[in-house]
C-alpha cells in the first residue's frame, strides 16, 4: 500500500516509537489516528505535525479497556473518513523475576498478579482487541486492501525477568500468522516487527546495569533508534507480498 493512501491507527503514539511512526506517516501524506493514555504527549504530537502533507488526529485511548478500544476505532473511522491500517504499538513494562530469593535474607519474592495482569492487559489483550475491532470495521465497510502491523519484541524468544512481557510479545508474533490466515479472504495482511534494544522513554527507565549489559551484546555496537524500526514498519505497510511473518530488528542482539 502507498503510505499516502493510509488511514491508519497508531496506538501508544504519545511518545517514543509510536510518535515517530505517526510523524513519518504524516510526512508521507497519510491520515493518522493517534491514541494513548498520555494526552499531553498527544497534543504535542499534533502540534509537531502541523503543516505536514498528512494529518494527525488524536484522542485518549486506554487499550486495556475493551469499551475504549471500540469507541476509539469508531471515532478514528469517522475522523479520517475511513480506516485501512493499524500499527499495534502500545506497550508497558512491569519487569521482575517470577521467583526471587534474597541472597542476604533468604526472603522469597514473587511476580505479583498486578504485574502480570497490567502487562498482559495492555500488551496482549489490548493489542488483540485492537486488531479485532479494526478488522471488524474494515470487513463491515468492505475495505480492501488493509494491513496490520503488530509490534512484537525479540524478548519473545525468552528473557530473564520478563515472563509477563515475553508471554505477550510471543503471543503477538504467533497470532500474526494466525490472523494473516484468518483475514486473507478479506484482503487484509498482518505482519509484525520485533524491535531489540531501542532508545525510547520506556527503555530509558530500565535498570542501568541491565541496560549496559544488553548494549554490550549488540554486534552493531549501538542501541537502536526509532528510525531503525520505522524502516521495518514501512516495509510491512508498503510490501503487498509480505504477510504472516515477524521481522527482528535488533542489531544482531542475542539476549
| Residue-by-residue pLDDT tens, the chain, 255 positions | 999 999 999 999 999 999 999 999 999 999 999 999 999 999 999 999 999 999 999 999 999 999 999 999 999 999 999 999 999 999 999 999 999 999 999 999 999 999 999 999 999 999 999 999 999 999 999 999 999 999 999 999 999 999 999 999 999 999 999 999 999 999 999 999 999 999 887 777 777 887 788 788 899 989 999 999 999 999 999 999 999 999 999 999 866
For residue 103, is it within any domain? yes
Q: Spot the catalytic one: 165, 179, 183, 230.
A: 165
For residue 49, is it within any domain? yes
For residue 255, is it within any domain? no
DSSP string, 132-165: HHHHHHHHHTT--SEEEEEE--GGGG--TTBHHH
Kindly report the length of the chain: 255
For residue 198, is it within any domain? yes
User: Could you confirm whether 241 is annotated as catalytic?
Assistant: no
Domain CATH for 118: 3.40.50.720
**Whether the model pTM is above 0.85:** yes
b/e map of 157-172 (b: 16 or more CB within 10 Å)? eebebbbbbbbbbbbb
Sort strands 7-11 and 31-36 into parallel, antiparallel or unpaired: parallel
For residue 113, is it within any domain? yes
Choose among 230, 241, 223, 250: nearest CA to 3: 230
Number of domains in the chain: 1
Distance CA 94, CA 15 (A): 18
What is the domain range of residue 229? 3-249
For residue 254, is it within any domain? no
Amino acid at each position: 500500500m502507498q503510505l499516502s493512501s493510509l488511514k491508519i491507527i497508531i496506538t501508544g503514539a504519545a511518545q517514543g516509537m509510536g510518535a515517530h511512526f505517526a510523524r513519518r506517516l504524516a510526512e508521507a501524506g497519510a491520515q493518522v489516528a493517534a491514541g494513548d493514555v498520555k494526552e499531553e504527549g498527544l497534543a504535542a504530537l499534533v502540534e509537531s505535525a502541523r503543516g505536514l502533507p498528512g494529518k494527525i488526529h488524536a484522542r485518549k485511548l486506554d487499550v486495556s479497556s475493551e469499551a475504549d478500544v471500540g469507541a476509539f476505532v469508531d471515532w478514528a473511522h469517522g475522523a479520517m473518513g475511513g480506516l485501512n491500517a493499524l500499527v499495534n504499538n502500545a506497550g508497558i513494562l512491569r519487569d521482575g523475576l517470577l521467583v526471587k530469593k534474597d541472597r542476604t535474607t533468604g526472603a522469597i519474592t514473587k511476580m505479583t498478579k498486578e504485574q502480570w495482569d497490567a502487562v498482559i492487559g495492555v500488551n496482549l489483550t489490548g493489542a488483540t482487541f485492537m486488531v479485532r475491532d479494526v478488522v471488524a470495521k474494515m470487513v463491515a465497510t468492505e475495505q480492501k486492501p488493509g494491513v496490520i502491523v503488530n509490534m512484537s519484541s525479540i524478548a519473545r524468544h525468552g528473557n530473564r525477568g520478563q515472563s509477563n512481557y515475553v508471554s505477550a510479545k510471543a503471543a503477538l508474533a504467533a497470532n500474526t500468522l494466525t490472523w494473516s490466515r484468518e483475514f486473507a479472504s478479506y484482503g487484509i495482511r498482518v505482519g509484525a516487527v520485533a524491535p531489540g534494544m531501542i532508545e525510547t522513554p520506556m527503555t530509558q527507565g530500565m535498570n542501568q546495569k541491565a541496560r549496559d549489559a544488553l548494549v554490550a551484546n549488540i554486534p552493531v555496537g549501538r542501541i537502536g533508534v526509532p528510525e531503525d524500526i520505522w524502516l521495518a514498519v514501512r516495509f510491512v505497510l508498503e510490501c503487498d507480498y509480505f504477510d504472516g511473518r515477524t521481522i527482528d530488528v535488533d542489531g544482531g542482539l542475542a539476549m
